[in-house]
Structure 1
Amino acid sequence: MKRIAVLGSTGSIGTNTLDVIASHTQEMQLTAITAHSSWEQLAKQSQQFHPRWTVISDSELSSVVTRDSFSNATEVLFGADEIERVSSSDDVDIVICGIVGAAGLRGAWAAVEAGKTVGIANKETLVVAGPLIMELARQNQATLIPVDSEHNAIFQALQAGNPKDVKRVVLTASGGPFRGATPAELKEVTPEKALAHPTWNMGPKISVDSATMMNKALEIIEAKWLFNLSADQISVVVHPQSVVHSMVEFVDGSVIAQLSPPDMRLPIQYALTYPDRREGLNIPMDWSQSFELTFEPPDMEAFPALQLGYEVAEKGGTCGAVLNAANEAAVERFLAGELRFCNIAISCQKVLESHQFDPNPTLEELFLLDEWARKEIKKWK
């Protein structure tokens, strides 16, 4: 029986993970769930799954939460420190890190340090602290399995060959809701338009990242650290159908791709059952119907965030933490109507250029830079 902790269980990744666990109760047991403030939804999950622990990271809610809303079998804990405690518990085998943004880093760090199998769903963990996390995993024999669809596809495709024989990886991108948009049209983008993704159902922050293609920039950085690649070994191609989730090209010219209808439950389940496979909840490919798969190069001029991704992947050091924090804060400002859509990537670039670069930062230095970048982004409109 695999004992699973889901960090960020009320979000998109979290709820999909619980769907997978619910369909495999003979081999999966939900041991811990966490949320920042959505305690009522957390309570419903507790009543359904009866985990040993639920953690509400916003400790100020301790006076508001009604204990009777939770399962009697569940211990209700408060504070971000408790996330780290349950992530590293001996009673947990697998940790799914689904907390969006840099806030998910500490829980992921604790799980890796404890040598767990860690499903990395929040790409920010590796963007911010990639080399530190990978070294920590090596030291503690932790297994890192990417859960986001693109890197999970690469992880699966890599099973077909030897890592030393990889020529490059190809990340696919849907192109977001503004594929083919003109610069003039991008200047008029509203939060409502940016949140309308054509193929994936995601939270607001990730939806905006997809619209700016900053998500792909972060994925370039993540792929560099996760798969030990150079920036020039990572390509991006726009694939509107979102059926080919990514590809690996080997030195002999073979290209191995992972295909499936877009459904996050598949990569989540693969992370939970690896190295085995099980019957899934996702809709299978229908090969009896005609369909087209198209690919096109991304518009680097219309979506400057992509170039930032390559630059940060190339330079490393503190750049990932600064870009990630600046982008998170910029997206918040955009959704609040304080920053124009077309200025999200531009303002992030300005913050990157103005920060004091360190090629070998400590984790605490990265957290300090995270705070600095969030404040610095407020200078831009």
Structure 2
Amino acid sequence: MDTVASSADFNRHDVAVLGATGSIGGSALDVIARHPQRLRATVLGAGRNVDALIELCRVHRPLHAVIDDADGFTALRDGLASAGLQTRAHAGAEAVSALAAGDDCDTVVAAIVGAAGLPSTLAAARAGKRLLLANKESLVLAGELLMAAARDGGATIVPIDSEHNAIFQCLPAPDRLAAGQASAGLARIILTASGGPFRGRSRASLADVSVEEAVKHPKWSMGPKISVDSATLMNKGLEVIEAHHLFGLPGKRIDVLVHPQSLVHSMVEFIDGSTLAQLGLPDMRTALAVGLGWPDRVESGVSGLDLLAQGGRLDFEKPDLEAFPCLQLAYDALAAGGTAPAVLNAANEVAVAAFLERRIGFLSIAALVADTLAALPAGPADSLEALEDVDQHARRQAIQGLAAHRMPA
């Protein structure tokens, strides 16, 4: 990965925002709009919501708009023309990848949700873009492939998850660009977790929790899937796997601490005994401003942190792996390597969907994931096609396993 850069190289960025109609895309566009002399949204991409994409084009006037759903092309093209916009319409997954790798952007905000975001993320990495990575699946499913593509293409990856962005900020300048190669002075990484809505509860007390309880996060307003992942601590397990690929550390040197205030976003410990922490209000615009402005600091719209106003205390505790075994399952999948993280992710998506549909109980999420991992031993993760095949195989296996965990009628 290219580690030689000067401020002069970053005077003006043309930015592709993929997943523009989602919350991260909206935050990215908010930061971009604050710096019209420095940042320009040239490509906006969305999944299926043509009307929302057209409205964003009215505001931001990109060169290109792309809808992942190929059937949406006519509506997008005609809607842009009706709005009097010169923005060119595109549709389909191949078009998303082509624009991510193309000449009309040098920076890509990869915020497409799920495995659908993986091809365009890889395309941007291979093309040497500055990649603001908010797509978890790209690292969980294909971390080895993505980091290799970034190294070979000379891409710069800036993680946008608040935890990984905190680590990025705490590392020395050359090391943060080292594409998965650990700093010689880095001892360990400490990811923080809010603990979710069930922090402090025993495993037995979680047997009958409802969907409504599981999605009611004490700190964040999120979609149902990620809210459940937070409740099971699977989200933190996935972040451990991401941190391994981003920063080149084995799982045994990546720790998790529960921090209910959610003000310390993560910490980095060095071999000299120093620990650096990044603190801030829980607002994604901070991490996006770090990526969009790097190596400079730019205004994000987020106010500074007043610790006294936030209660004047910071608490930490160890995660309860008996009550929340998904975190341990993620560590196990990371240790197994190869395709195991892809199996973990796929089985978890099936299990969480079944829980949200009230077909299985909360504790059965981890049980179903464990069963699927046991049924599908890890193999080599040496191509995107192999990983996509494993993903589908794991989903079928998990669906078949639902019967053993189904709630009584």
Asked if TM exceeds 0.5, the reply is yes
2:190 is aligned to 170
Q: What are the ranges of 5 or more consecutive residues in structure 1 without an aligned counterpart?
A: none
- The CA deviation at 1:188 is 2.2
Q: Distance in 1 between matches of 2:391 and 2:329?
A: 17
Of stretches 226-235 and 344-353 in structure 1, the one that deviates more from structure 2 is: 344-353
Residues 15 and 109, structure 2, Cα contact 8 Å, conserved in 1: yes
Which residues in structure 2 correspond to 1:266-281 (within 5 Å)? 266-281=286-301
Q: Are residues 71 and 80 of structure 1, via their aligned partners in 2, closer, same or farther at CA, if it must alter by over 3 Å?
A: farther
Work out whether 1:27 is the aligned partner of 2:38. Answer: yes
Give 1:44's aligned residue. 55
- 1:74 aligns with 87
Structure 2 residue identity aligned to 1:227? F
Partner-residue secondary structure (3-state), 2:72: helix
- Normalising to structure 2: TM-score of the pair? 0.89
Deviation at 1:345, TM superposition (A): 1.8
Structure 1 contact 115–142 (Cα < 8 Å) conserved:
yes
Q: Deviations over 1:313-336 (max 9, x none)?
A: 212100111111221222222222
Q: How does 1:201-240 map to 2 (within 5 A)?
A: 201-240=221-260
- Conserved? CA contact 2:203–2:324, under 8 Å: no
Confirm whether residue 187 of structure 1 aligns to residue 197 of structure 2: no
Deviates more, 1:280-289 or 1:74-83: 280-289
| Pick aligned residue for 1:262 from 257, 279, 282 | 282
Amino acid at match of 2:248: N
Counterpart Cα distance in 2 of 1:322 and 1:288 = 44
Q: Does 1:125 align with 2:146?
A: no
Given that residues 322 and 369 in structure 1 are in contact (C-alpha distance below 8 angstroms), is that contact kept between their aligned partners in structure 2? yes
Deviations 1:192-244 (A, max 9, x none): 22222211222222222111111100001111111000111000000001000
Tell me how far 1:307 sits from its aligned partner: 0.3
Give the match for residue 389 of structure 2: 368
Distance 1:146 1:280 in 2: 16
For 2:306 and 2:174, locate their aligned partners in 1 and report how far apart those are by CA, in whole Å.
27
Cα distance change of structure 1 residues 54 and 185 upon mapping to structure 2, 3 Å threshold:
farther
**Partners of 2:371 and 2:162 in 1: CA distance:** 30
Counterparts of 1:32 and 1:66, CA distance in 2:
15
Equivalent position to 2:331, from 289, 304, 310: 310
In the alignment, which residue of structure 2 is the partner of 1:7? 18
Residue in 2 that maps onto 1:359: 380
The share of aligned pairs that are identical, in percent, is 47
CA distance in 2, matches of 1:127, 1:149: 17
**1:284-319 deviations in whole A, cap 9, x for unaligned?**
111554511100000101111100111112121001
Q: Is the 8 A contact 2:340 2:377 kept in 1?
A: no
Q: Are positions 1:102 and 2:122 aligned together?
A: no
CA distance in 2, matches of 1:90, 1:67: 25
The correspondence for 1:333, drawn from 343, 347, 354, is 354
Cα deviation, residue 44, structure 1: 1.1
Q: How many residues align?
A: 381
Aligned to 2:316: 295
Q: CA deviation at 1:37?
A: 1.1
Q: Cα offset for 1:65?
A: 5.0
SS of equivalent to 1:159: coil
Residue 154 of structure 1 aligns with which residue? 167
CA distance in 2, matches of 1:25, 1:307: 45
Partner of 1:87: 100
Distance in 2 separating the partners of 1:336 and 1:51: 39
Q: Deviations over 1:13-71 (max 9, x none)?
A: 11111111111122110011111112221111111101111111112334555723556
Change (3 A) 1:225 1:73: same
Partner Cα separation in structure 2 for residue 83 and residue 154 of structure 1 = 29
Determine helix, strand or coil for the equivalent of 2:312.
coil
What is the rounded CA distance, in whole Å, between the counterparts of 1:87 and 1:337 in structure 2? 38
Whether the aligned pair in 2 keeps the contact of 1:12 and 1:203 (CA below 8 Å) is no
Judging changes above 3 Å, is the alpha-carbon distance between structure 1 residues 3 and 161 closer, same or farther for their aligned structure 2 residues?
Answer: closer
SS at match of 1:257: strand
In terms of mean alpha carbon deviation, does 198-207 or 265-274 score higher?
198-207
Q: How many Å separate the matches in 2 of 1:65 and 1:190?
A: 40
User: What is the rounded CA distance, in whole Å, between the counterparts of 1:246 and 1:85 in structure 2?
Assistant: 34
| Cα deviation 1:175-195 (Å, max 9, x = unaligned) | 011111232432223332222
1:144 equivalent in structure 2: 157
**Greater CA drift, 302-311 or 359-368:** 359-368
Name whichever of 151-160 and 335-344 sits farther off: 335-344
Q: Which amino acid aligns with 1:346?
A: A
Residue number in structure 1 paired with 2:27: 16
Q: Alpha-carbon deviation of 1:372?
A: 1.2
CA distance in 2, matches of 1:346, 1:303: 11
Give me the whole-angstrom Cα distance separating, in 2, the residues matched to 1:54 and 1:99: 14
Of the three residues 383, 396, 399, the one matched with 1:378 is 399
Aligned to 2:272: 252
**1:152, distance to aligned residue in structure 2 (A):** 0.4
Which consecutive unaligned segments of at least 5 residues does structure 2 have? 1-11, 176-182
Are the aligned partners of 1:12 and 1:202 in contact in 2 as well (CA < 8 Å)? no
